[in-house]
Amino acid sequence: MKRFEKVTIIGVGLIGGSIGLGIKKKGLAEEVVGVFRRSSTLKRALKCRAIDNGTLSMEEGVKGADLIIIATPVSLIPSMAGEAMRYAKKGALITDVGSTKKWIVSRIEPMGGLFVGSHPMAGSEHAGVEFARPDLLQGSPCIVTKTTKTDSGTLAAIVDFWKALGARTSVLSPEAHDRSVALISHLPHIVAFSLAGAVPAKELPYAAEGFKDTTRVAMSDPELWADIFLSNRREISKSIDVFERYLNSLKKAIMNNKHKQVVKLLEKAKAVRDSIEY
């Protein structure tokens, strides 16, 4: 991969910070600069060495950058892209890390600029640059989006960049991304939040590992996830329907005391889950 002179990360939390640490560890750029809204988070990112330099000024931050990565919450990504493009040099590559893509890509593409959308599917229930680690993306899926307007050189460079950080990249349309991710990522979050929310507090002393695992992602940031859910609500609604059909088949089989049918439904689920246990 071509080494960048300057990479700018807008929003340096868990994901942005991990990207910064990864770039530095792998030597993918001369300089990593962070753009912040608050000086407190700037200081925290510097302390974690996730960036070489930080600034509160978008103009200063993106000036001369070869690659700009927008890692803010989803709802801010289009406006951040617009602001960054005002100050970016000609030929600067721009990408983001947002968990929904149609909403974001359809807003940024008309602005012009060498933009492709990305979604590195890494992270955890923890938020903040303190949890960042250079290998967060190692072995994780990363979807890069392609539309009829996508510049093929930009696409190739962004794919190479994520690969250099260790991600397993796939190229999908924003629509295909949103359909897949509604099922494999947004739905598990919806289900985990609903499960944690539904269980009465008086039962919590009996919580064992099963409850903890199944609800772990319900510790994620509510504002961040509200953003994601609302920006992909059509596909999420469909994915909830898919889930409820399975849940109701299982419930019906249990209620009707159909042992074989219950076993069959559980076996199908186990086979799916076993297949990704590598």
Within 128-167, the residues that bind its own copies by CB under 8 A are 140-141, 143
Q: Which is nearer to its own copies, 27 or 209 (CB)?
A: 209
Which residues within the stretch 33-72 sit at the binding site for its own copies (CB under 8 A)?
none
Helix, strand or coil, per DSSP, at residue 125:
coil
In the complex, the smallest distance separating the C-beta of residue 175 from its own copies, rounded to whole angstroms, is 14
Residues in the chain: 278
Q: How far apart are CA 194 and CA 191, in angstroms?
A: 5
Which residues within the stretch 192-221 sit at the binding site for its own copies (CB under 8 A)?
192-201, 203-220
Per the CB < 8 A criterion, the answer to whether 116 and 150 are in contact is yes
Question: If binding is defined by CB under 8 A, does position 233 make contact with its own copies?
Answer: yes
Find where tokens 């510049």 sit. Answer: 151
The answer for residues whose C-beta is within 8 angstroms of residue 181's C-beta and 6 or more apart is 99, 100, 101, 119, 121, 143, 232, 235
Which residues within the stretch 175-194 sit at the binding site for its own copies (CB under 8 A)?
180-181, 183-185, 187-194
Residue 225 in tokens: 């996830």
* DSSP annotation of 59: H
Return the range that interacts with its own copies (CB under 8 A); candidates 18-26, 27-35, 50-58, 245-253: 245-253
Q: Please identify which residue in 2, 43, 86, 245 interacts with its own copies, judged by CB under 8 A.
A: 245
Q: What angle, 0 to 180 degrees and rounded to 10, lies between the N-to-C axes of helices 222-231 and 233-255?
A: 100
In the complex, the smallest distance separating the C-beta of residue 174 from its own copies, rounded to whole angstroms, is 14
Q: Which is nearer to its own copies, 112 or 200 (CB)?
A: 200
Which residues within the stretch 103-132 sit at the binding site for its own copies (CB under 8 A)?
121-124
